[in-house]
A and B are shown apart, each in its own frame.
Chain A
């Protein structure tokens, strides 16, 4: 049984999240402020924490800081604060993911699943195979032509696969549309063509939980595309 602690001062939000998570087969423990969350964490065997930032008594940021002193469970911050600065702060103090309100509950569930997979299953996976390329939770096995995200298999067309492989092999490097075109199709790019951009969007839709806020395949607007180098 996987225990998930949900902490938000808005009881309806906690309730709604509970409904979604229970439907997915998780057991939910509820807390309504930071102190309660820490107490619940001590009392129960918790595998994942969803925590709001703006709460009475102890806010989410401080609670996360305290929890990180002794626990490495996945923490997803849930906040109405949508500024870049807020997200950076949250991720820097030890949260694994940051979801802004109002959120799509299905997306939240997907993120929960992703975090749990990584935490429980992939944490000690070691691939020594030369044909296996990894970028965080994204794994490409070039021998079997298999692509998995957080352990979940993803189906890609051959072109999409090749584009993704090119980017994963050169993590951190930005490829422009014409560069990608030339290396995949092996012919010169001819001006106005959306092909590559459309393919990229399709790949994103397949491997990302929220394609508009991609974790792996990032768009560098006006420059090109890249796979973020993962720690």
Chain B
């Protein structure tokens, strides 16, 4: 089938809508698939989105990667919970009186064997402290002074003892009151408080005190120490400061305490929120962790077993009864499972809490596949089973719809804008009204409008839905999304197809704002240039160039480079101008030589060059017109003369014929015979006149064609002499012929050159004085390296030649006196014209009665 090259209007509309429906349907399926394949998993208060992937195994939920992902999340969560429990619980219950070794806790991740100093605090106190926050007071003193507190519980240099009175004491009282309010019970005279109380609280204060005591202490010797206000005391009822032997140790202890409190508080928060998340009735997950905390083996489990009395195999067996189970041995990094979990993943999950999971740790995890609790697994299985049977079909239809839509897109793009011009399949591109809008605003508008449609859809979704989870699982949501896509596609395609049409009609760039702006600027600059005065034209570019050079030259290397580039451009522009000028000069020269057809292409020139070119063109045109007109006039004249002569010839024929008849009659009367003779000679002359007239006009109008060939001038003259020998003898004219030894060859038209010589000879025959000699000479002449053949003819005129030589060759002019004799008066004129047509020279000299003609032709080798 022959493929049509043009798409009908109805067909186009149909395919457009079909494609849009396909695209929207694809969007519906995509949204439906992605909404329903998202499963929300909540573990440990955190919310995850798990996706049912397109490559999901379909057979069962427990084999799916979704199951695996959730399981991994749950294991991570349970592991963390177990660790937290091990920190906070004793025998499965929260134990507030649990003593926490702060150095051990703070450095639990670092495998710190034994801290230099440590203290044990009650768990409750630490959690509360962590919740409340820490208050420190900065004290100043020399290293010795401060360390002396840690060594002896009092200072060797107790300043206030030596002071009788001082204002600072009062201030100290106020501070003391505030600080004391922070301490919840315990001894008021703890070491920390003593230090805060006794030691100066600023560098200036210390110096002032030292001055009052008359002591000199260097500024560099004064150190500062942040003392923690003792909100709680240790399990032993001691202040933190008492555990330290010097300032360095104190700082270490203080920081350990802070870390421990904060982390325990954080863990406590998590614990209190999620403590029951893994209660047996809340989850389908069963776990049993054997781990060592504080040097002891502890069991954490929510399974209905008592792990203490069971061996490993038995626990594993019990767990396997739930359905899916994992047994992980941390020691050998071994795993026994019927899930897709592997040892590396387990090792990684446990690895975060390396300190809690020693070499003898064992982990059992199982998922009760009867799903008694409505937990993450339950919900995920629900979503999985709901979606999976249709997943393949939906995905396949999605791919198919997208492919179809793309195919139609390409198809429509290809045929867009075409309109048939003929039956044979020729077509042109037709633009719509919208295609005339400038390209850039149009494209921008398209993007904005499409964005607006999509944005409205999104806003609608945001406003309609309080809970996005509820919305995305409704049936209408994908269709609403599809409708938005349908609309957006409508807008986008409208703009896209317009751009396609523009591309095809090559108006994308032509109709662009950028091009328009560029053209306008260009036009403005050029028109300014073309219309401004010569001073502006010369000065402004020069000043611009100069200032550009000066400004750019002062801007470092880059500036100089740019300036150089600008100069190169300027030179190129100047070169172009000069070249244009040269072209004009050359063209003018050629016009001067007669090439009137020549036209200078002035379109690409500017300024003076353009004006000059236009002027020269006008000049050439004028000359061409004048020449053509004169040629036409000459031709018209020649035609007129030819036609008139034809008309004269017919009656002339009759005259000649009948005169001839009369002559044949035997007329006795001499008088009548005389009349007849006159008629005869005049009719013959009239005949000659008409012929000459036609020939002369033809020659002047250039209406004859020449056939140039190589001729022997001597031969020609000899031949002519032969032709005229009888006539000359009749008038008793003697010819004196002088020929060169070597024949001289010239280039001429054989018959025309004969006409020239014949005219000269008959001239001699008509006007030469009877009984005189006629001198004929052919010789060679050299002039400027060029050889010329010269033919000269001299005779004595019968009548006095009282006119100028030039006049003889002017048409219809002869010696006035000889008007009565025969001849048209055109002979010499024709001879001269014909000679010149054949590139020869024809000269006449008159000297008294001597008549001399010179004909000169270039000599051929």
Chain A residues within an 8 Å CB radius of B649: 80, 101-102
Chain A residues within an 8 Å CB radius of B647: 80
Judge if A16 is at the interface, Cβ distance under 8 Å. yes
B751: shortest Cβ distance to chain A, in Å?
6
Chain B residues within an 8 Å CB radius of A191: 739, 741
Report the nearest B residue to A108, measured CB to CB. Answer: B657
Closest 8 CB pairs of A and B: A197-B722, A222-B711, A16-B657, A221-B754, A222-B716, A192-B737, A80-B649, A102-B653
Report the nearest A residue to B683, measured CB to CB. Answer: A102
Chain B residues within an 8 Å CB radius of A231: none
Judge if B234 is at the interface, Cβ distance under 8 Å. no
Contact A194 to B718, CB < 8 A, known contacts A13-B657, A101-B652: yes
Q: How far is the CA of A200 from the CA of B725 in the complex (A)?
A: 12
Q: How far is the CA of A67 from the CA of B661 in the complex (A)?
A: 32
B725 close to A197 (CB less than 8 A)? yes
Judge if B770 is at the interface, Cβ distance under 8 Å. no
Contact A222 to B753, CB < 8 A, known contacts A194-B721, A198-B722: yes
Q: How far is the CA of A90 from the CA of B386 in the complex (A)?
A: 108
Judge if A91 is at the interface, Cβ distance under 8 Å. no
Contacts from B to A (Cβ < 8 Å): 645-647, 649-658, 660-661, 683, 687, 691, 694, 709, 711-713, 715-716, 718-723, 725-726, 735, 737-739, 741, 746, 748, 750-751, 753-754, 757
A221 close to B654 (CB less than 8 A)? no
A207: shortest Cβ distance to chain B, in Å?
16
Q: How far is the CA of A225 from the CA of B722 in the complex (A)?
A: 12
* Number of residue pairs A-B, CB distance < 8 angstroms: 116
A198 close to B725 (CB less than 8 A)? yes
Q: How far is the CA of A31 from the CA of B653 in the complex (A)?
A: 18
Chain A residues within an 8 Å CB radius of B651: 10
A10-B651, A219-B754 known, 13 other contacts, Cβ within 8 Å: A13-B653, A20-B657, A102-B652, A102-B683, A103-B653, A176-B715, A197-B719, A197-B721, A219-B719, A221-B757, A222-B715, A223-B750, A225-B719
Identify A222's interface contact among B661, B683, B739, B750, CB under 8 A: B750
Chain B residues within an 8 Å CB radius of A199: 722
Q: How far is the CA of A194 from the CA of B652 in the complex (A)?
A: 36
B780: shortest Cβ distance to chain A, in Å?
15
A221 close to B652 (CB less than 8 A)? no
Chain B residues within an 8 Å CB radius of A223: 709, 711-712, 715, 750
A180: shortest Cβ distance to chain B, in Å?
11
Judge if A82 is at the interface, Cβ distance under 8 Å. yes
B689: shortest Cβ distance to chain A, in Å?
12
Identify A81's interface contact among B646, B723, B738, CB under 8 A: B646
A29: shortest Cβ distance to chain B, in Å?
19
Q: How far is the CA of A188 from the CA of B483 in the complex (A)?
A: 119
Identify A13's interface contact among B654, B687, B718, CB under 8 A: B654
B716 close to A12 (CB less than 8 A)? no
Q: How far is the CA of A219 from the CA of B750 in the complex (A)?
A: 10
Chain B residues within an 8 Å CB radius of A25: none
Chain B residues within an 8 Å CB radius of A201: 722-723, 725-726
Chain A residues within an 8 Å CB radius of B646: 54, 80-81
Judge if A151 is at the interface, Cβ distance under 8 Å. no
A197 close to B754 (CB less than 8 A)? no
12 contacts between A and B (CB under 8 A): A12-B654, A12-B657, A12-B658, A17-B657, A19-B661, A80-B646, A102-B657, A176-B712, A192-B738, A193-B718, A198-B722, A222-B753
Chain A residues within an 8 Å CB radius of B654: 10, 12-13, 16
Interface size on A, residues (CB 8 A): 36
B660 close to A222 (CB less than 8 A)? no
B660 close to A106 (CB less than 8 A)? yes
Chain A residues within an 8 Å CB radius of B660: 104-106
Report the nearest B residue to A23, measured CB to CB. Answer: B664
Chain A residues within an 8 Å CB radius of B720: 197
Q: How far is the CA of A12 from the CA of B687 in the complex (A)?
A: 18
Q: How far is the CA of A177 from the CA of B714 in the complex (A)?
A: 10
Chain A residues within an 8 Å CB radius of B645: 80
Chain A residues within an 8 Å CB radius of B709: 223
A164: shortest Cβ distance to chain B, in Å?
15
B739 close to A192 (CB less than 8 A)? yes
Chain B residues within an 8 Å CB radius of A38: none
Report the nearest B residue to A10, measured CB to CB. Answer: B650
Q: How far is the CA of A22 from the CA of B661 in the complex (A)?
A: 13
Q: How far is the CA of A12 from the CA of B659 in the complex (A)?
A: 13
Judge if A65 is at the interface, Cβ distance under 8 Å. no
Report the nearest B residue to A85, measured CB to CB. Answer: B705
B791: shortest Cβ distance to chain A, in Å?
11
A147: shortest Cβ distance to chain B, in Å?
20
B661: shortest Cβ distance to chain A, in Å?
6
Proximity bits, A1-22, B CB within 8 Å = 1, else 0: 0000000001011001101100
Q: How far is the CA of A221 from the CA of B651 in the complex (A)?
A: 34
B711 close to A194 (CB less than 8 A)? no
A52: shortest Cβ distance to chain B, in Å?
9
Q: How far is the CA of A82 from the CA of B694 in the complex (A)?
A: 10
Judge if A196 is at the interface, Cβ distance under 8 Å. yes
Judge if A94 is at the interface, Cβ distance under 8 Å. no
A177: shortest Cβ distance to chain B, in Å?
5
Chain B residues within an 8 Å CB radius of A82: 691, 694
Contact A221 to B653, CB < 8 A, known contacts A102-B687, A198-B722, A200-B722: no
Proximity bits, A141-166, B CB within 8 Å = 1, else 0: 00000000000000000000000000
Judge if A220 is at the interface, Cβ distance under 8 Å. yes
Contact A104 to B656, CB < 8 A, known contacts A80-B646, A191-B739, A192-B737: yes
Chain A residues within an 8 Å CB radius of B712: 176, 222-223
Identify B711's interface contact among A17, A19, A221, CB under 8 A: A221
Chain B residues within an 8 Å CB radius of A80: 645-647, 649-650, 653
Report the nearest B residue to A192, measured CB to CB. Answer: B737
Contact A194 to B722, CB < 8 A, known contacts A222-B750, A223-B715: yes
Chain B residues within an 8 Å CB radius of A200: 719, 722
Chain A residues within an 8 Å CB radius of B652: 101-102
Chain A residues within an 8 Å CB radius of B711: 221-223
Interface positions, chain A 156-184, Cβ under 8 Å from B, are: 176-177
Identify B713's interface contact among A20, A196, A222, CB under 8 A: A222
Chain B residues within an 8 Å CB radius of A54: 646
Q: How far is the CA of A186 from the CA of B654 in the complex (A)?
A: 51
Contact A177 to B687, CB < 8 A, known contacts A10-B654, A19-B661, A101-B653: no
B713 close to A13 (CB less than 8 A)? no
Chain B residues within an 8 Å CB radius of A198: 722, 725-726
Q: How far is the CA of A191 from the CA of B721 in the complex (A)?
A: 13
Q: How far is the CA of A21 from the CA of B129 in the complex (A)?
A: 161
B735: shortest Cβ distance to chain A, in Å?
8
Chain A residues within an 8 Å CB radius of B737: 192, 194
Q: How far is the CA of A193 from the CA of B753 in the complex (A)?
A: 20
Identify B653's interface contact among A10, A176, A194, A222, CB under 8 A: A10
Contact A197 to B718, CB < 8 A, known contacts A16-B654, A222-B712: yes
A18: shortest Cβ distance to chain B, in Å?
10
Q: How far is the CA of A2 from the CA of B656 in the complex (A)?
A: 26
A194 close to B739 (CB less than 8 A)? no
Q: How far is the CA of A20 from the CA of B726 in the complex (A)?
A: 29
Q: How far is the CA of A193 from the CA of B657 in the complex (A)?
A: 39
B718: shortest Cβ distance to chain A, in Å?
5
B259: shortest Cβ distance to chain A, in Å?
126
Q: How far is the CA of A18 from the CA of B683 in the complex (A)?
A: 21
Q: How far is the CA of A199 from the CA of B722 in the complex (A)?
A: 8
Chain B residues within an 8 Å CB radius of A196: 718, 722
Chain B residues within an 8 Å CB radius of A194: 718, 721-722, 725, 735, 737
Chain B residues within an 8 Å CB radius of A177: 715, 718-719
B741: shortest Cβ distance to chain A, in Å?
8
Contact A13 to B650, CB < 8 A, known contacts A177-B718, A192-B739: yes
A108: shortest Cβ distance to chain B, in Å?
9
Chain A residues within an 8 Å CB radius of B738: 192
Q: How far is the CA of A182 from the CA of B660 in the complex (A)?
A: 44
Report the nearest A residue to B695, measured CB to CB. Answer: A82
